[in-house]
Structure 1
Amino acid sequence: MNKPTNSVRKLALDLLVRIGDQGGYSHLLIDQILKKHHLDARDGALLTEIVYGTMQRKLTLEYDLTSFINTKKKMDNWVKWLVYLSFYQMKYLDKVPDHAIIHEAVEIAKYKGHKGIANFVNGILRAAQRNGLPDYQFINDPIERISIETSHPYWLVNRWVKQYGFDITEEMCQTNITHKKMSIRTQPLRITRDQLIEQFQKDGIKASASNFSQQGIVIEKGNVLKHKSFHEALFTIQDESSMLVAEMMELAGGMQVLDACSAPGGKATHIAEKMHDNGSVYAYDLHEKKAQLVNVKAKELGLTTIRATQSDARLLQEKHAEGTFDRILIDAPCSGLGVLRSKPDIKYNKSEEDIVKLSTIQLEILDHVKPLLKSDGKLIYSTCTVDKEENENVIKTFLENNRDVEVDPHFFEELPEQLKESMGQSPFGVQIFPQDINSDGFFITRLKRHS
């Protein structure tokens, strides 16, 4: 028997076990495997699709499996993942015929297990091929139906329905299992957005200007990571929601700016670019290695105003005097429930307890950092999550405890047109849902300190 040691599906199975059962980070592990095994573009794309797709649909595939086995039957975890990734290909990918998917799954089962396991896997997959996979419309509980159909944990769907209602939640969950277009941010001190789009078009990459950032470009088709402009650091990969943070900071050259939770540096470098690299950006992160990533990113982009060092944001009064900064950004540590399209494993690893703990930390950071803001200075609070407890409720509590701060009334006037009528708008800021602008879920607000 040929050993399928380095086959794409064998590598995908190994990755899924490491991510799904051992807590590895999907984006980091996939990157490592692509580099280690020197996969060509086609195999690399298939590996990425299978791993992300299977993780994204894990609860759906788990439910599908229960149609074909006795739920009390003991199965090794790797066997489950092998069935899941096979189901995923049969159900969602149309370029590979079912018989090829089944054949390779059986070969992997023989290699990793024994003939009995191979027969078991073969039986399940043949039955699925013959009978089809279940119809979720027959699930009576509407919360459970969304949970199974879109592979979001029941508690999370239930929580979002309570916070935002059924329709917004269903649309958000459906959006979270779709592909998202890549967006990038031009380095305007090196090239204009129009010049970069023109370069892309000449080289067969389809791109269009973002409506949410004067530096933003949405990639419609093509691989910009292989384009010369990427190696020349003419742009940064950044989601459009994330770009909106610096766009809403009312920045100008010569300002003193604090980025309290900075790594990996996308927002700090955007801030420096919008200030025309004139002024000072003090960037901090809890971890030394991550803080250094910010310095590396700044150097790549040719930005000299950023100074990134390690510190807990709750200790920054030890480093700076009161009233030092014109602008402060708190891109707070959060549950990450707005970025599930890019990091699907997050939704299976978070709990309601995590959200409560994070909201406490977020409030502590706000309370500690506020005195560093000048009178009439502005503080931007953002997260990449869609939970009221980490967003609206944190800001509401902070304002109740700090009467010298208010939500800047001009903030709402300056929002992009598409977000001015957003269902996520509240007196405390704007909640961007993934479906609003086909981007990551994000919360942004701008606070002003009275003189």
Structure 2
Amino acid sequence: MAKYELREAALELLTRIGEQGGYSHVLLDQEMKKRSLSPKDGGLLTEIVYGTLQNKLKIDYQIAPNISKQKKLKPWVKWLLYMSVYQMLYLERVPDHAVIHEAAEIAKKRGHKGISGLVNGVLRNIQRNGVQDPSEIEDPAKKLSVETSHPQWLIHRWIDQYGFEVTKGICFQNLKHLPMSVRVQPLRISRDKAAAELAERGIQTENSEFSSQGLIITEGNILNDPLFKNGQLTVQDQSSMLVAEMMSLKPGQDVLDACSAPGGKTTHIAEKMEDQGTVYAYDLHKKKANLVNEKAKLLHLQSIETKQADSRLLSDVHEKESFDRILLDAPCSGLGVLRGKPDIKYHKKEEDIYALRGIQDDLLESLAPLLKVNGKIVYSTCTIDKHENMQAVQHFLEKHSEFEIDEEFHNELPAHLQNSQGWSEYGLQIFPQDWDTDGFFLTRMVKRKPSF
């Protein structure tokens, strides 16, 4: 790559993500494809972008004392400082003097000599004065906010819901790398055979305890492996795999997946049904519905019917009591997946949680009549907020006496999850620190009598 090109690419991405609300995983993926980066350069770009986002508030704590409060920095200058300090604090293989020199040169190229001097001065001050220790902060919530780069409103919200120790566990776990896990397509290859083939090519795995189809990658790059490229396995977090496992599926059923994109759970449902029956997969956006279709084709699954629709209006499409099973993997705040999408914690606001809850309530309300008597509905989210999870389920059950929590749900969970700290009468809350997965909620309700 040309001189400074990789850092300039990182700066461009960070500015777009931080200031314009772009999604880190989407923009990074596009950038890698556009530039055809080598694995080494791609790894460094990913490290700088995700690492800077992951630790932004802690980095800001280092930068703030070195900039006059009156000084208004342009967004790109601020992000140049953030990514440079990240490299100085966390990337041992890049010497500080090289980081400072490169930052000053980029500043000169993008701005002028004055900006270059400011960037150089701030970074040299930090290098000279050493790192400020957040442990000196007296307020425990503020200290945790700085140490783990989570906004204070989020820290206070989790403390109110779960207490300080659980919150501390969530925040520190969110700074750790999330192990990649994959799901085998069992109609095409067994888990044991897949693991053996991968091992021959230097990719080491462990069996997941969440799904009989799951493998955790402990060493090697799965994304270039033939099994992945040929659709014999697909990337999916372990907690997400639990959804289809807990839907009590049988071949030949009619199943509705109301919010199906990008299709990981949809295709898992079809696999659990041995590709017999029909999975009706809907998504609000046509482009996202197409992603589900592409995933089904890649995995050689025929039983999935994909369409674009607002699932709140599906009673116009399907008769009452049409489905044996319904999955509502509801739109949510995403606060359980901050390890892979750290930008969420800065973009989300408390009012977003309440707005999303309105959509979750509407979806449950609209889908309830479509379930057969004695049918089962699984409600899941990738958030750890009680308002979107337990309280949403409680609210629904209070309004719908024909539904109850399926008493078999708890006993059908994998043994290690049955006594989890996140278990409640309304379902299972998985915290990221519990099993080194994404944070996730799921529950299963059964319909005992007709809807009126």
TM-score (normalizing by structure 2): 0.98
Report the Cα offset of residue 100 of structure 1: 1.2
RMSD: 1.2
1:83-102 correspondence to structure 2 within 5 Å: 83-102=81-100
Q: Which residue of 2 aligns with 1:267?
A: 265
Q: Which residue of 1 aligns with 2:147?
A: 149
Which runs of no fewer than 5 residues in structure 2 stay unpaired? none
% same residue? 56
1:3–1:111 Cα contact (<8 Å) kept: no
Q: Which residue of 2 aligns with 1:253?
A: 251
User: Following the alignment from structure 1 to structure 2, what is the Cα–Cα distance between the partners of residues 200 and 68?
Assistant: 50
* Residue of structure 2 aligned with 1:305, choices 303, 306, 310: 303
Q: Which residue of 2 aligns with 1:400?
A: 398
* Residue of structure 1 aligned with 2:204, choices 203, 206, 227: 206
Give per-residue Cα distances to partners, 1:145-197, cap 9 Å, x unaligned.
11111111110110000000000001101111111110000011110011111
1:339–1:441 Cα contact (<8 Å) kept: yes
User: Following the alignment from structure 2 to structure 1, what is the Cα–Cα distance between the partners of residues 59 and 389?
Assistant: 32
User: Following the alignment from structure 2 to structure 1, what is the Cα–Cα distance between the partners of residues 130 and 214?
Assistant: 43
Q: Which residue identity is paired with 1:141?
A: D
* Paired residue secondary structure (2:132): coil
User: Following the alignment from structure 2 to structure 1, what is the Cα–Cα distance between the partners of residues 316 and 2?
Assistant: 59
TM-score (normalizing by structure 1): 0.98
User: Following the alignment from structure 1 to structure 2, what is the Cα–Cα distance between the partners of residues 204 and 99?
Assistant: 37
Does residue 178 in structure 1 map to residue 176 in structure 2?
A: yes
1:219-298 correspondence to structure 2 within 5 Å: 219-298=217-296
1:67–1:134 Cα contact (<8 Å) kept: no
Give per-residue Cα distances to partners, 1:58-105, cap 9 Å, x unaligned.
111112111222222221111111111011111111111111111111
Q: Which residue identity is paired with 1:132?
A: G
* Residue of structure 2 aligned with 1:40, choices 38, 41, 46: 38
Q: Which residue of 2 aligns with 1:58?
A: 56
User: Following the alignment from structure 1 to structure 2, what is the Cα–Cα distance between the partners of residues 259 and 80?
Assistant: 43
Q: Which residue identity is paired with 1:303?
A: L
1:150–1:173 Cα contact (<8 Å) kept: yes
Does residue 410 in structure 1 map to residue 399 in structure 2?
A: no
Give per-residue Cα distances to partners, 1:381-434, cap 9 Å, x unaligned.
000000001001000010000001100111111222222221211100011011
1:259–1:284 Cα contact (<8 Å) kept: yes
Report the Cα offset of residue 436 of structure 1: 1.0
Does residue 447 in structure 1 map to residue 445 in structure 2?
A: yes
Report the Cα offset of residue 22 of structure 1: 1.2
Does residue 126 in structure 1 map to residue 124 in structure 2?
A: yes
User: Following the alignment from structure 1 to structure 2, what is the Cα–Cα distance between the partners of residues 303 and 129?
Assistant: 56
User: Following the alignment from structure 1 to structure 2, what is the Cα–Cα distance between the partners of residues 156 and 126?
Assistant: 33
Q: Which residue identity is paired with 1:375?
A: V
Q: Which residue identity is paired with 2:400?
A: N
1:332–1:383 Cα contact (<8 Å) kept: yes
1:319-334 correspondence to structure 2 within 5 Å: 319-334=317-332
Which runs of no fewer than 5 residues in structure 1 stay unpaired? none
* Residue of structure 2 aligned with 1:76, choices 67, 74, 77: 74
* Residue of structure 2 aligned with 1:216, choices 194, 210, 214: 214
Q: Which residue identity is paired with 1:31?
A: D
Q: Which residue of 1 aligns with 2:314?
A: 316
Report the Cα offset of residue 3 of structure 1: 7.9
Report the Cα offset of residue 326 of structure 1: 0.8
